[in-house]
Amino acid sequence: MARAVTTNRKIINTTAAWAIGLLIFFPILWTILTSFKTEAQAIADPPIFLGFDWTLENYGVVMERSNYMRFLTNSIIIAGGSTILGIIIAVPAAWSMAFVPSKRTKDILLWMLSTKMLPAVGVLYPIYLLFIKMGLLDTRFGLTIVLMLINLPIIVWMLYTYFKEIPGEILEAARMDGASLREEVLYVLTPMAIPGIASTLLLNVILAWNEAFWTLNLTASKAAPLTAFIASYSSPEGLFFAKLSAASTMAIAPILILGWFSQKQLVSGLTFGAVK
Amino acid sequence: MATQHSRAAARIMMAPAVFLLLVWMLVPLTMTLYFSFKKYLPLRGGDLGWTGFDNYVRFVTSSSFWPSVQTTLVIVGGVLFITVILGIMLAVLLNQPMWGQGIVRILVIAPFFVMPTVSALVWKNMFMDPVNGLFAHLWKFFGAEPVQWLSQASLQSIVMIVSWQWLPFATLILLTAIQSLDREQLEAAEMDGAQPVQRFAFITLPHLGRAITIVILIQTIFLLAIFAEIFVTTGGAFGTRTLTYLIFQRVLESQNVGLGSAGGVYAIILANIVAIFLMRIVGKNLDA
Domain ranges in chain A are 7-60, 66-234
Q: Could you give the ipTM of this predicted complex?
A: 0.88
Maximum mean pLDDT: which of A36-50, A79-93, B134-148: A79-93
Nearest residue, CB atoms, A274 vs list B184, B228, B281: B281
Q: Are A230 and B118 in contact (CB under 8 A)?
A: yes
CB of A152 less than 8 A from some CB of B = yes
Using CA atoms, how far apart are residues B186 and B183, in angstroms rounded to an integer?
5
Mean pLDDT within B138-146? 87
* Lowest-confidence region among A157-171, A211-225, B88-102: A157-171
Q: Output the furthest CA–CA distance in chain B (Å, rounded).
A: 79
Nearest chain B alpha carbon to A173: B1
Q: Looking at per-residue confidence, does B282 or B189 come out higher?
A: B189
Mean pLDDT within B256-275? 90
Nearest residue, CB atoms, A115 vs list B25, B252, B261: B25
Burial of A48 (0-12, 13-18, 19+ CB in 10 A): middle
Q: Are B264 and B29 in contact (CB under 8 A)?
A: no
Q: What is the least distance, in Å, from the CA of B42 to any CA of chain A?
A: 10
Mean pLDDT within A232-260? 82
pLDDT, position A200: 87
pLDDT over 80 at B170, yes or no? yes
pLDDT band at A276 (very low <50, low <70, confident <90, very high): low
pLDDT over 50 at B139, yes or no? yes
pLDDT over 90 at A43, yes or no? no
Using CA atoms, how far apart are residues A52 and B164, in angstroms rounded to an integer?
28
**Best CATH choice for the domain A66-234 from the list 3.90.1150.10, 3.30.230.70, 1.10.3720.10, 3.40.50.1220:** 1.10.3720.10
Which sign, positive or negative, has the C-alpha torsion B208, B209, B210, B214?
positive
* Lowest-confidence region among A71-80, B77-86, B252-261: B252-261
Residues of chain B contacting A216 with CB distance shorter than 8 Å: 117, 227-228, 231
pLDDT, position A67: 82
Question: For residue B145, what are the β-bridge partners?
Answer: none
Using CA atoms, how far apart are residues B93 and A71, in angstroms rounded to an integer?
40
pLDDT, position A143: 94
pLDDT, position B179: 87
Q: Residues 34..93 of A with a Cβ closer than 8 Å to B: which?
A: 34, 43, 45-47, 89-90, 92-93
Question: In this structure, which amino acid lies at residue A59?
Answer: Y
pLDDT band at B68 (very low <50, low <70, confident <90, very high): very high
pLDDT tens track for B14-51:
899 999 999 999 999 999 999 999 888 888 878 888 88
pLDDT tens track for A101-153:
888 888 898 888 888 888 899 899 999 999 999 999 999 999 999 999 999 99
Question: For residue B46, what are the β-bridge partners?
Answer: B41
Distances (CA, A) of A15 to A19, A20, A21, A197, B94: 6, 9, 10, 38, 11
pLDDT, position B288: 58
Nearest residue, CB atoms, A119 vs list B117, B118, B225: B225
Mean pLDDT within B173-178? 90
Q: Residues 212..231 of B with a Cβ closer than 8 Å to A: which?
A: 214, 218, 221, 224-225, 227-228, 231
Mean pLDDT within B165-182? 90
pLDDT over 70 at A5, yes or no? no
Mean pLDDT within A71-100? 92
pLDDT, position B17: 93
- Mean pLDDT taken over chain B: 88
pLDDT, position A48: 80
pLDDT over 50 at A2, yes or no? no
* Lowest-confidence region among A16-25, A182-191, B1-10: B1-10
pLDDT over 60 at A239, yes or no? no
Asked if A241's CB is within 8 angstroms of B126's CB, the reply is yes
Full set of structural domains in chain B with CATH: 30-64+241-288 (no CATH), 70-233 (1.10.3720.10)
Q: How many residues does chain B have?
A: 288
Mean pLDDT within B207-235? 88
pLDDT, position A1: 41
Which of A43, A58, A88, A121 should be substituted to probe chain B, the one whose Cβ sees the most B Cβ atoms within 10 Å?
Answer: A121
CB of B254 less than 8 A from some CB of A = no
Radius of gyration of chain B (CA): 24
Using CA atoms, how far apart are residues B66 and A71, in angstroms rounded to an integer?
38
Nearest residue, CB atoms, B115 vs list A30, A47, A227: A227
